[in-house]
Structure 1
Amino acid sequence: MKIHITRQTNTKQFPTRFPPPAALIVAAVVAVLALPVLACSEERVPPPPRTTVTPITRALPAPAPTVVPIATAMPASVGGGASGGSGSTSAGAVGSTNTDNIGTGNTGTAGNGGITVSAGSIRTISATGGSAAAPSESAEIRSRRYRQPGFIGVSTDDVAPFTNIAERAMGEQFAVANDLTGVAIFDYDRDGDHDFYITQSRGNPNLLFRNDGGDSFTEVGVQAGVSASASNSTGVVTCDIDNNGYQDIYLSAQGIIGDGLDYEDAVYDSALREAVSDRLMRNNGDGTFTDITANAFDEEANFRTGTSPACADIDRDGWVDIFVANRSDMDTVHPGILTRGNENVLYHNDGDGTFTEISVDAGVRGEQVVTWASLFFDFDDDGDPDLWTADDGGPVRIYRNDTENDRVRFTPVERPMGLDKRGNWMGFALGDYDGDADLDVFVTNIGYHPKTRPLPFEGASGDCSSEQLYSISTCAHYLLRNDGTMVVPRLGEVGFFPDVAPTVPIEPNRVMPPDSIDPGRIWLDWRVPTGLAAYDFGFGAAFFDMENDGDQDLYWTGSALGRGESPEGKWFPSAGRMLRGDGAGNFQDITVEARLLNIKDVNYGVLDPFSAQFDRERQRIDTAYHENGKGLAKGDLNGDGYIDLIGTNSAGPIYLDPSAGTDSALGFENGPTFVWLNGGGDNNWLALRLRGRMVEDGTGSNADAIGARVFVSTTDANGRRQVQTDDVTAGSSFLSMSTLDLHFGVANATIADEITIFWPSGVRQVIRNIPVNQVYEITEPALPQ
Structure 2
Amino acid sequence: MLKFFLLLPLLSVPLYANPRFYDATQGAGIDFVHFNGANGQKFVIETVGPGGGFFDYDGDGRLDIYLINGAAVPGTDYDPAPQNALYHNRGDGTFADVTAHAGVGDTGYGMGCAVGDIENDGDLDLYVTNFGANVLYRNEGDGTFADVTVAAQVGDEGWGASAAFADIDRDGLVDLYVGNYHNFSYTNHRVCAEGGSGLQLYCGPEAFDGVTDVLYRNEGDGTFADITTAAGLGSAEGKELGVVFGDVDLDGDPDLYLANDKTLNFLYLNDGTGHFADEALLAGVAYNEDGDVEAGMGVDMGDYDNDGDPDLFVTNFQWETNTRYITLGDGTFVDEPFLAGLCKGSIAYLSWGTRFFDVDNDGDRDLFIANGHLESDVEQYENATFPQRNQLFLNVGDGRFEEYAEDGGALSLKRVSRGAAFGDYDDDGDIDVLVANVAARPTLMRNDGASGHWVRLRLEGRDSNRAGIGTRVEVTSGGRVQTDEVRSGASYLSQSDVQLHFGLGTATGIERVVVYWPSGRVEEYADLGVNQEHLLVEGAAR
Question: How many residues were matched structurally?
Answer: 491
- How far residue 564 of structure 1 moved from its aligned partner, in angstroms, is 7.9
User: CA distance change for structure 1 residues 566 and 304 in 2, over 3 Å: closer, same or farther?
Assistant: farther
Counterpart for residue 82 of structure 2: 204
> Which residue of 2 is the match for residue 420 of structure 1?
286
Higher mean alpha-carbon deviation, 537-546 vs 570-579, is at 570-579
Is residue 2:382 matched to residue 1:558? no
TM-score when scaled to structure 1?
0.60
Asked whether the 8 Å contact 1:552–1:583 carries over to 2, the reply is: no
Distance change >3 Å, CA 567–CA 629, structure 1 → 2: farther
Q: Verify the 8 A CA contact 1:239 1:311 in the aligned structure 2.
A: yes
Query: How big is the shift at 1:177?
Result: 1.8
Residue 432 (str. 1) matches residue 201 (str. 2): no
2:139 counterpart residue number: 283
Alpha carbons of 1:533 and 1:732: their partners in 2 closer, same or farther (altered >3 Å)? same
The answer on whether the counterparts of 1:170 and 1:218 sit within 8 Å (CA) in structure 2 is yes
Q: Which amino acid aligns with 1:365?
A: G
Structure-2 change in CA distance of 1:307 and 1:410 (3 Å): same
Q: Which residue of 2 is the match for residue 343 of structure 1? A: 212
* 1:589 aligned onto 2:347: no
5+ residue gaps, structure 1: 1-150, 255-275, 449-474, 486-494, 507-529, 600-625, 652-670, 694-699, 716-720
CA distance in 1, matches of 2:247, 2:187: 42
Going from structure 1 to structure 2, the CA distance change for 1:633 and 1:598 (only over 3 Å counts) comes to farther
Say whether the 8 Å CA contact 2:325–2:333 is kept in structure 1: yes
One of 27, 31, 39 as aligned partner of 1:168: 27
- Give 1:496's aligned amino acid: T
Other-structure match for 1:576: 390
1:9 corresponds to: none
RMSD (CA atoms): 2.4
SS of residue in 2 equivalent to 1:237: strand
Q: Residue 86 of structure 2: SS of its match in structure 1?
A: strand
CA–CA distance in structure 1, aligned partners of residues 326 and 112 of structure 2: 27
Unaligned runs of 5+ in 2: 1-10, 37-45, 72-80, 192-206, 288-292
Shift of 1:556: 0.4
Relative distance call for 1:171 and 1:764 in structure 2 (3 A) is closer
Alignment of 1:518-557 (within 5 A): 534=347, 536-557=349-370
Aligned residue number for residue 703 of structure 1: 466
Secondary structure of 1:170's aligned partner: coil
Three-state SS of the structure 1 residue aligned to 2:216 is strand
- Alignment check: 8 A CA contact 2:181 2:239 kept: yes
Q: What is residue 328 of structure 1 aligned with on the other side?
A: 182
Secondary structure in structure 2 of the residue aligned to 1:222: helix
Inter-partner Cα distance in structure 1 for 2:398 and 2:348: 20
1:783 deviates by 11
- 1:288 and 1:409 mapped to 2: Cα distance? 35
Mean Cα deviation higher: 749-758 or 424-433: 424-433
Distance across 1 between alignment mates of 2:377 and 2:452: 37
Query: Could you tell me which residue of structure 1 aligns to residue 151 of structure 2?
Result: 295
| Amino acid in structure 2 at the alignment position of 1:172 | D
Question: What does 1:54-69 align with in structure 2 at a 5 Å threshold?
Answer: none
Q: How far is the alpha carbon of 1:681 from its aligned partner? A: 3.9
For 1:703 and 1:435, locate their aligned partners in 2 and report how far apart those are by CA, in whole Å: 27
Q: Which structure has the larger Rg?
A: 1
Q: Does 1:641 align with 2:429?
A: yes
Identity value in percent: 34
For 2:464, give the aligned amino acid: S
Q: Does 1:481 align with 2:481?
A: no
Could you list the per-position Cα deviations for residues 581-635 of structure 1 after superposition, in whole angstroms to 9, with x for gaps in the alignment?
A: 1233222211334834363xxxxxxxxxxxxxxxxxxxxxxxxxx4221000100
The answer for the alignment partner of 2:416 in structure 1 is: 628
Q: Tell me which moved more, 426-435 or 562-571.
A: 562-571
* Deviation (angstroms), 1:154: 4.2
Q: Is the 8 A contact 1:232 1:253 kept in 2?
A: yes
- More strand as a share of residues: 2
User: Match of 2:170, as an amino acid?
Assistant: R
| Distance in 2 between residues matched to 1:349 and 1:650, nearest whole Å | 33
Q: For residue 223 of structure 2, what is the amino acid of its counterpart?
A: T
The 1:435–1:582 alpha-carbon spacing in structure 2 relative to 1, beyond 3 Å, is farther
1:531–1:341 Cα change, 3 Å = closer
Distance 1:550 1:563, change over 3 A: farther
Shift of 1:534: 4.2
**1:502, distance to aligned residue in structure 2 (A):** 2.1
Name which of 130, 143, 159 aligns with 1:253. Answer: 130
- The one-letter code of the counterpart of 1:642 is D
Give 1:325 shift. 0.6
Residue of structure 2 equivalent to 1:177: 35
Post-superposition offset of 1:189: 0.5
Tell me whether 1:401 sits opposite 2:270 in the alignment.
yes
Partner of 1:357: 226
The 1-side partners of 2:30 and 2:495 are apart by 22
Q: What letter matches 2:117 in structure 1?
A: D
Q: Distance in 1 between matches of 2:143 and 2:190?
A: 42
* Amino acid paired to 2:366: D
Deviation at 1:778, TM superposition (A): 1.1
What letter matches 1:155 in structure 2? Answer: L
Corresponding residue SS for 1:277: strand
Q: Secondary structure at the match of 1:771?
A: coil
Please give the TM-score of this superposition, normalised by the length of structure 2: 0.86
Within 2, Cα distance between the matches of 1:731 and 1:329? 22
- Aligned twin of 1:502: 338
For the 8 Å contact 1:476–1:532, the answer to whether it is kept is: no
Which residue identity does 2:415 align to in structure 1? E
Shift of 1:294: 0.5
| Residues 751 and 563 of structure 1: CA distance in aligned 2, closer, same or farther (over 3 Å) | farther
1:409 deviation in Å?
1.3
Q: 1:594, 1:555 → 2: CA distance?
A: 18
Q: Using the TM superposition, give the Cα deviation of residue 377 of structure 1 relative to its aligned residue in structure 2, in angstroms.
A: 1.2
Deviation for aligned residue 1:168:
1.8
1:687-702 alignment, distance < 5 Å: 687-693=456-462, 700-702=463-465
Distance 1:643 1:571, change over 3 A: closer
**2:447 aligned residue (678, 682, 697):** 678
Matched with 2:41 is: none
Work out the CA distance in 1 between the residues paired with 2:491 and 2:12. 29
1:312-335 C-alpha deviation (Å, 9 max, x unpaired): 000000000000011124332243
Report whether the alignment pairs 1:219 with 2:97: yes
Rounded to whole Å, the distance in 2 between the matches of 1:181 and 1:567 is 25
Residue 199 of structure 2 aligns with which residue?
A: none
User: Contact 1:159–1:594 (CA<8 Å) still a contact in 2?
Assistant: no
Match of 1:740 in 2: 498
Q: Name the CA distance, whole Å, in 1 between partners of 2:95 and 2:482.
A: 32
CA contact (8 A) 2:54 2:423 kept: yes
Equivalent residue for 1:266?
Answer: none
Give the direction of change, closer, same or farther, for the CA distance of 1:596–1:500 in structure 2 (3 Å limit): farther
Q: 1:309 is matched with which residue?
A: 163
Higher helix share: 1
After TM superposition, the structure 1 = structure 2 runs for residues 28-47 of structure 1, keeping only pairs within 5 Å, are none
Distance (whole Å) between structure 1 residues aligned to residue 521 and residue 344 of structure 2: 40
Rounded Cα–Cα distance in structure 2 between residues aligned with 1:564 and 1:640:
41
> What's the counterpart of residue 410 of structure 1?
276
Distance 2:408 2:122 in 1: 36
Give the letter aligned to residue 635 of structure 1.
Answer: G
CA distance in 2, matches of 1:252, 1:482: 31
How far is 1:169 from its partner?
A: 1.5
Q: Which amino acid aligns with 2:524?
A: V
The residue number in structure 2 matching 1:772 is 530
How far apart in 2 are the matches of 1:415 and 1:779? 38
Rounded Cα–Cα distance in structure 2 between residues aligned with 1:323 and 1:732:
11
For 2:514, the equivalent position in structure 1 comes to: 756
Distance in structure 2 (CA, Å) of the matches to 1:572 and 1:444:
17
Q: Distance in 2 between matches of 1:209 and 1:567?
A: 38
Measure the CA separation in 1 of the matches of 2:508 and 2:264: 44
State the 1:403 CA deviation: 3.7
